[in-house]
Amino acid sequence: DIQMTQSPSTLSASVGDRVTISCRASQSIITWLAWYQQKPGKAPKPLIYKASNLESGVPSRFSGGGSATEFTLIISSLQPDDSATYYCQQYISYPYTFGQGTKLEIK
């Protein structure tokens, strides 16, 4: 199985900050990576697919990058509504695997 490791596990930032969340794969996944946002009691919401492609309707302050084993999710200017847990997921091979999550709190 491909292991996905996110860092940090928790993050606290202020409105307007630039925030970066990292995701590392245990082997190359090329760009077969997705990012999700999950709020308490809700289903994950897709944000990005194929490492850097924004899903329809997702604010442009979100962006993704990286390839092979190192990936990032960037929020360019943090908004109060961005408080959530963020997950990465590889989909190059089965079993699909997720990172353990990064909980983002607003100061």
Partner 1 sequence: QLQLQESGPGLVKPLETLSLTCSVSGGSISCDSCYWGWIRQPPGKGLEWIGSISYSGRTPYNPSLKSRVTISLDTSKNQFSLKLSPVTAADTAVYYCAGIVDYEQKTFDYWGQGTLVTVSS
Q: Which is nearer to partner 1, 17 or 54 (CB)?
A: 54
CB of 32 to partner 1, least distance (A): 8
Instruction: Point out which residues bind partner 1 (CB under 8 A).
Output: 1, 34, 42-46, 49-50, 53, 55, 87, 89, 91, 94-101
- Contacts of 88 by beta carbon, 8 Å cutoff, 6+ apart: 4, 6, 23, 33, 34, 35, 36, 71, 73, 98, 99
Q: Are strands 10-13 and 102-106 parallel, antiparallel or unpaired?
A: parallel
Q: Which is nearer to partner 1, 16 or 95 (CB)?
A: 95
CB of 1 to partner 1, least distance (A): 8
